[in-house]
């Protein structure tokens, strides 16, 4: 494999969720190039499954898209060292008003590998226990329940575009709903 060598990483902007850097990289042919890099502490998400097999989803406004989206509950880690399972449990309760003592790792995704290091650990939560939503001051979330088939229909109709949600639903379906007879 060819060798790449980062020569420099310069912080251009420090944000509340991401940090934007300009990297200087020596590429295998000897050229020196500038690449953008976005640093992210990571996140966690959860597929909350009700006793009747439905999945709790959150509908919320997303500023980047200027519209509402339908997603699995998720949120950033409280620091790069926080375990994903801890964050997933917190986001489950904060966003849906349910908690679970039964979180199982499902999949880990990297959202945009070309320029960002964001990693999202995704869990499945079962045996949901009613609690209370604890929304952030800028969060306005509606909780909705769907079957896996209804969610797949929304994915294939182009009604859901969120990558973590699509990956989670399809992985959940394959692992838990598509058992071969």
Cα distances from 102 to residues 49, 50, 169, in angstroms, run 11, 12, 18
Q: How far apart are CA 43 and CA 179, in angstroms?
A: 29
Is 161 an annotated catalytic residue?
Answer: no
Determine the distance from the C-alpha atom of residue 176 to the mean position of all C-alpha atoms in its chain, rounded to a whole number. 20
Helix (H) or strand (E) segment spanning residue 168: helix 163-172
Helices (H), 63-179: 84-96, 148-156, 163-172
**Which of 101, 118, 137, 153 is an active site residue?**
137
Dihedrals phi, psi of 109, to nearest 5 degrees: -125, 155
The residues assigned a catalytic role are 137
């Amino acid at each position: 494999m060819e060798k790449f060598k980062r020569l420099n990483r310069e912080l251009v902007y420090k944000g509340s969720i991401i940090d934007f850097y300009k990297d200087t990289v020596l590429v295998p042919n000897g050229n020196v190039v500038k690449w953008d890099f976005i640093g992210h502490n990571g996140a966690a998400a959860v597929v909350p499954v009700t006793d009747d097999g439905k999945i709790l989803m959150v509908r919320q406004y997303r500023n980047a898209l200027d519209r509402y989206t339908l997603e699995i509950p998720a949120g950033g880690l409280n620091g790069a060292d926080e375990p994903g399972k801890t964050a997933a449990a917190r986001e489950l309760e904060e966003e849906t008003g349910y908690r679970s003592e039964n979180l199982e790792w499902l999949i880990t995704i990297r959202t945009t590998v070309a320029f960002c290091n964001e990693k999202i650990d995704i869990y499945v939560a079962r045996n949901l226990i009613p609690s209370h939503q604890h929304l952030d001051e800028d969060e306005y979330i509606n909780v909705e329940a769907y079957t896996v088939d209804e969610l797949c229909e929304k994915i294939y109709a182009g009604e859901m575009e969120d990558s973590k949600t699509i990956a989670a639903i399809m992985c959940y379906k394959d692992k838990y709903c598509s058992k071969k007879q």
